[in-house]
Amino acid sequence: MNVLLRSNVARALVLACTALTLAACADAPTQRLTTTGRRMQPVIMDGLNLTAMNQVFVQGFTEIKDRMLEDPSVDKVVLDGLAGLSKIDPEVNVVVVDGRVKIRRELGDGAAPVDLGDAGAVPPPTKGPIALWSRLTLTAIITARQSSPLLHAAEAEDLYSAVFTTAIAKLDPYSHYSSRRDAVRTRLIRDGVIGLGIRMVAVDEGAQVQAIVSEGPGEKAGLEINDIITAADGKSLAKMPFAALRRTLDGSVDTMVSLTVKRAGVDGPLLIMAKRDLIVPDTVTVKNVDGVAEMKIRSFNQRTAAAVERGVNAVRAENHGVLKGIILDFRSDPGGLLDQAVDMSDLFLDSGAITSLDGRHPGAKQYYAAQGRNIAPNVPMAIIVDGRTASAAEIVAAALQDWGRAVVVGTGTLGKGSVQTVVRLPNGGEMGLTWAHATTPRGASLHGLGILPDVCLAGLPGPTLPQAMGYVAAGTNPSADVKRRWRAPHDDAETHAALRKACPAEAHLDRDVDTEVARKLLTDPKLYARLTTPEDPQLANKP
């Protein structure tokens, strides 16, 4: 990089960092003003808004440093992140030589690498403020862009993804970065979206309805599959791009929209009034099987616990107030929101610990206990798990198992007992950072160990129900000693690996016999009582 270019980069970065400092010191309503009262102009260089990028990198690196479960070294985080530029251009490599960050092009075939530029000296790892590391990151990016067409064509979002994804991947397998676009989809699954609850496609005449959320605003208003919405509040939707259609039909919660609808077989347009609402994807499927509420839980979003409660009450009502049992099927459930795991556990407990969290950040130290809701007292419960059951699903299974509230059937679970905190960045992207580990009511760690079923069906290829039940009735599945050691507090990976061999994790998503065993256990009071009675009744209490 020539001297003039390096000077321009340094000047631009100083301006960008200064703008960030001024904005950070201002009150919220005037964050975009300078100390003279004039609106700040963003620093633009090489097609990039350096002021905005500096804000994203400073906050991102700061959150990683402050929140991660294990205290990371900032220099390693940043340098690992810069190595991620090779995701955009595989020939570009970032190395440290004599305390300076060098950008190189790797030519391969034994050829010596070519130096593309010097991004500057590495700040002191323990004393350098985050702003210096952000400046180094931006300098390296701009330097690399001068000699790499692929990096020069990359947008800011591509660069954030390359740097943060690579940096975070080196720290923890469950932490992650989501780009602005991916974060929107993630929030839809987790938090829902305000709208009409329809899936649509753009057609010449407007928006054609392809799917409708059950009990959502669209269904309540009377929309049907294949309806074509030609206008909204009198505004024609003809030939409108999909993004514009979505903006027009979505809006604030509880607002009304007048829809002009073309429906096959109906002469003339229909006028339908609909009220927008928060739409959260369904994660719970409920079946009434001879008075037993069988519920498949696919993940945990903000309405999952409420959906389970509705399912229990619906099956009870269908059976004239009688509920014979409850089955929660967590197979292949990757988890989700922690508070929903707590709320779901609380639905079936009278009292006692649900889970405890512990981490480096003060906010990560949390304790959750049941509030005595128990919507189904004395109703037998079974939980089905497999090797893909994880996170929030494991927390629920452990809480109900430890208190003898449910019998757990299946295989060893994934063992993801880590908890991520979600941080929104200025660009609209998100970082999910592992900041705590969860423990069971007995004080055992879930992370790396998972759940040991009361009835282990691992290693039984295609058994019939009589074969599986005969195996269970033998009383050695799993042994009392394995149960005691599994549920005792310990954290070392070697112990976890040895214990997990007692019931290996397997994928049993569509295996009917696991469900049949769960149903059978609910109809055998003696066997159910034996499997759900803790041999050691001592459980963890709030410290």
Whether 37 has a pLDDT exceeding 70, the answer reads: no
Q: Pick the more confident residue, 38 or 249.
A: 249
Can you tell me the distance from the alpha carbon of 335 to that of 396, in angstroms, rounded to the nearest whole number?
Answer: 10
Judgement on whether residues 295 and 409 belong to the same structural domain of the protein: yes
Whether 244 maps to a domain, the answer reads yes
What is the model's pLDDT at position 543? 45
Judgement on whether residues 105 and 225 belong to the same structural domain of the protein: no
Judgement on whether residues 321 and 224 belong to the same structural domain of the protein: no
Mean pLDDT of 99-115: 84
Judgement on whether residues 165 and 209 belong to the same structural domain of the protein: no
What is the model's pLDDT at position 432? 94
Rounded to two decimals, the pTM is 0.79
Beta bridge partners of 344: none
Whether 182 maps to a domain, the answer reads no
- Report the percent of the chain where pLDDT is more than 90: 66
Can you tell me the distance from the alpha carbon of 204 to that of 19, in angstroms, rounded to the nearest whole number?
Answer: 47
82-96, 122-136, 263-277 — which is least confidently predicted?
122-136
How large is the C-alpha radius of gyration of the chain? 28
Can you tell me the distance from the alpha carbon of 305 to that of 302, in angstroms, rounded to the nearest whole number?
Answer: 8
Mean pLDDT of 370-397: 96
Mean pLDDT of 341-348: 98
Picking from 246, 279, 312, the residue at the C-terminal end of a domain is: 279
Judgement on whether residues 163 and 201 belong to the same structural domain of the protein: no
What is the model's pLDDT at position 17? 53
What is the model's pLDDT at position 90? 94
Whether 543 maps to a domain, the answer reads no
185-194, 295-304, 393-402, 439-448 — which is least confidently predicted?
185-194
Whether 438 has a pLDDT exceeding 80, the answer reads: yes
Of 433, 432, 394, 444, the residue nearest 416 (C-alpha) = 394
Whether 373 maps to a domain, the answer reads yes
Whole domain around residue 383: which residue ranges?
Answer: 284-532
Judgement on whether residues 455 and 524 belong to the same structural domain of the protein: yes
Beta carbons of 144 and 407 less than 8 angstroms apart: no
What is the model's pLDDT at position 3? 45
What is the model's pLDDT at position 38? 54
pLDDT category at 4 given cuts 50, 70, 90 is very low
Q: Domain holding 219: CATH number?
A: 2.30.42.10
The burial of 269, by beta-carbon neighbours within 10 Å (0-12 exposed, 13-18 middle, 19 or more buried), is given as middle
Judgement on whether residues 143 and 128 belong to the same structural domain of the protein: yes
3-state secondary structure of 265: coil
Judgement on whether residues 24 and 64 belong to the same structural domain of the protein: yes
pLDDT category at 11 given cuts 50, 70, 90 is low
Judgement on whether residues 361 and 502 belong to the same structural domain of the protein: yes
pLDDT category at 187 given cuts 50, 70, 90 is confident
pLDDT category at 478 given cuts 50, 70, 90 is confident
Whether 260 maps to a domain, the answer reads yes
Judgement on whether residues 302 and 345 belong to the same structural domain of the protein: yes
pLDDT category at 318 given cuts 50, 70, 90 is very high
Can you tell me the distance from the alpha carbon of 401 to that of 534, in angstroms, rounded to the nearest whole number?
Answer: 9
Whether 184 has a pLDDT exceeding 90, the answer reads: no
What is the model's pLDDT at position 41? 78
pLDDT category at 435 given cuts 50, 70, 90 is very high
Within 13 Å, how many C-alpha atoms sit on residue 187's CB side?
Answer: 17
What is the model's pLDDT at position 30? 32
Picking from 279, 294, 328, the residue at the C-terminal end of a domain is: 279
Judgement on whether residues 247 and 160 belong to the same structural domain of the protein: no
Whether 151 has a pLDDT exceeding 60, the answer reads: yes
Q: Domain holding 294: CATH number?
A: 3.90.226.10
Whether 86 maps to a domain, the answer reads yes
Q: What is the 3-state secondary structure (H, E, C) of 201-215?
A: EEECCEEEEEEECCC
Can you tell me the distance from the alpha carbon of 62 to that of 76, in angstroms, rounded to the nearest whole number?
Answer: 13
2: left (phi over 0), alpha (psi -120 to 50) or beta: beta
Whether 183 maps to a domain, the answer reads no
Q: Pick the more confident residue, 391 or 193.
A: 391
Whether 203 has a pLDDT exceeding 50, the answer reads: yes
Picking from 279, 306, 330, the residue at the C-terminal end of a domain is: 279
Beta carbons of 399 and 375 less than 8 angstroms apart: no
Whether 334 has a pLDDT exceeding 60, the answer reads: yes
Beta bridge partners of 336: 300
Query: Considering the chain, what is the average pLDDT of its residues?
Result: 87
Whether 188 maps to a domain, the answer reads no
Q: Would you mind telling me the total number of residues written for the chain in this entry?
A: 543
What is the tally of structural domains in the chain? 3
In this structure, how many other beta carbons lie within 10 angstroms of the beta carbon of residue 470? Answer: 11
Whether 253 has a pLDDT exceeding 70, the answer reads: yes
25-29, 229-233, 454-458 — which is least confidently predicted?
25-29
Judgement on whether residues 260 and 407 belong to the same structural domain of the protein: no
